């Protein structure tokens, strides 16, 4: 058995293709605080509530799932998953100015060059890393 094959699926012609990403999950220790950050700073909208500790945020066709975990469980889950949410933008300078004006924790002063374009990294209130990416 090849573990890497679990990441792929065969299409109807039998050609192996990468499975489509369907959601991004982020573990947070305080769902209320997380919702404030993701809705007020990043302007996401709540799409669906899955009980008291799980919320889906609408963002195009790819939902972002925030799940509240507490104490050691949060630390274990975050260490195991280490998500980085990458958001595409057409105007990275505008996003940087918006993040600065809203007091976001930027990990760099200015956008940096990368192979596909420019990016800026920042953290949510719980230390999760997010990035805005502008393609060239």
Domain count, the chain: 1
Nearest to 42 by CA among 107, 109, 111, 89: 89
Q: Is the pLDDT of residue 53 over 50?
A: yes
85 found inside a domain? yes
Here the CATH number for the domain that contains residue 96 is 3.10.180.10
Q: So what's the pLDDT on residue 31? A: 93
72 found inside a domain? yes
Q: So what's the pLDDT on residue 104? A: 94
Supply 38's token pair.
């993701």
Which backbone phi and psi does 8 adopt, to 5 degrees?
-125, 160
Q: Is the pLDDT of residue 72 over 80?
A: no
4 found inside a domain? no
Map tokens 């939902």 to a residue.
63
Quote the domain boundaries for residue 83: 22-135
58 found inside a domain? yes
16 found inside a domain? no
Q: So what's the pLDDT on residue 38? A: 95
Map tokens 């999950």 to a residue.
25
1 found inside a domain? no
What is the share, in percent, of the chain residues with pLDDT greater than 70? 74
Average pLDDT over residues 74-84: 55
């Amino acid at each position: 058995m090849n573990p890497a094959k679990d990441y792929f699926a065969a299409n109807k012609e039998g050609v192996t293709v990468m499975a489509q990403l369907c959601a991004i999950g982020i573990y947070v220790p305080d769902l209320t605080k997380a919702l404030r950050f993701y809705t007020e700073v990043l302007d996401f909208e709540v799409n669906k509530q899955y009980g008291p500790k799980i919320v889906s945020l609408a963002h195009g066709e790819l939902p972002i799932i925030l799940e509240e975990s507490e104490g050691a469980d949060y630390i274990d889950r975050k260490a195991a998953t280490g998500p980085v949410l990458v958001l595409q933008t057409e105007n990275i300078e505008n996003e940087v100015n918006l993040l600065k004006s809203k007091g976001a924790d930027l990990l760099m002063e200015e956008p940096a060059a990368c192979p596909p374009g420019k990016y800026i990294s920042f953290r949510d209130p719980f230390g999760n890393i997010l990035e805005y990416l502008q393609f060239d």
